[in-house]
Amino acid sequence: MGDPLLFAKAEPVTQFDTPELHALIEDMHDTMAQMNGAGIAAPQIGVSMRVVIFGVGNNPRYPDAEKVPYTVLINPVLNPVGNNMEDGWEGCLSVPGMRGVVPRYTRLHYTGFDQFGQPIDRLVSDFHARVVQHECDHLDGILYPMRIQDLRNFGYTDVLFPDSDIADD
């Protein structure tokens, strides 16, 4: 957090299934895996393009989270379904060691493409919807602390959750 690139609007991908795109996604995948992230956006590794990846299996940072399938999502378009929003704790690999409560739409329709240019079209809810909203915010220069409504709900992971074994990232 603080790098101007994280506050920039990222550029759309115009060519799919290229060596450069595959290499970018591999770098993102390695970084996310190493840091036990639920997702990562290209600007977080210094590339201002509209590419996010996400997926949650058994993640020590999100021990209670529902499973989210591993997904490469490029040039995403998000549309909330209904107006219902819910508060939930979020962290971010670009804001290490901290957590904050962020409101997100509970139901979401999203479209986009995978790295081969195949279309993706999903209707999701709850944690899956939250992860997609968080990651796609990165493509528009928005970090989750900018969406916290009450800054008392923002702090250090080890202070907020002293008894938890959530990794101190």
Active site residues: 135
Whats the size of the chain, residue-wise? 169
Q: Number of residues in contact with Ni ion, rule: CB under 5 A?
A: 1
- Scanning residues 124 to 163, which ones bind Ni ion (CB under 5 A)? none
- Nearer residue to Ni ion within complex by CB, 74 or 131: 131
What number of CA atoms fall less than 13 Å from residue 156's CA on the CB side? Answer: 4
- Minimum distance, C-beta of residue 40 to Ni ion, in the bound complex (Å): 7
For Ni ion, the binding residue among 92, 98, 124, 166 (CB under 5 A) is: 92
CB of 70 to Ni ion, least distance (A): 17
* CA nearest to 41, candidates 18, 75, 90: 75
Assess 52 for contact with Ni ion (CB under 5 A). no
**Which residue lies nearer to Ni ion by CB, 16 or 27?**
27
Structure tokens given for 8: 């920039």
Nearer Cβ to Ni ion (106/133): 133
Which of 28, 124 has the CB closer to Ni ion? 28
Question: What residues contact residue 55 under an 8 Å CB cut-off, 6+ apart?
Answer: 38, 39, 68, 69, 70, 71
Part of the chain binding Ni ion (CB under 5 A), chosen from 21-29, 72-80, 89-97, 148-156: 89-97
Query: What is the end-to-end Cα distance of the chain in Å, rounded?
Result: 13
Please state the closest distance from residue 140 (CB atom) to Ni ion, in A.
Answer: 12
Least spacing, CB of residue 73 vs Ni ion, in Å: 14
Residues that bind Ni ion (CB under 5 A): 92
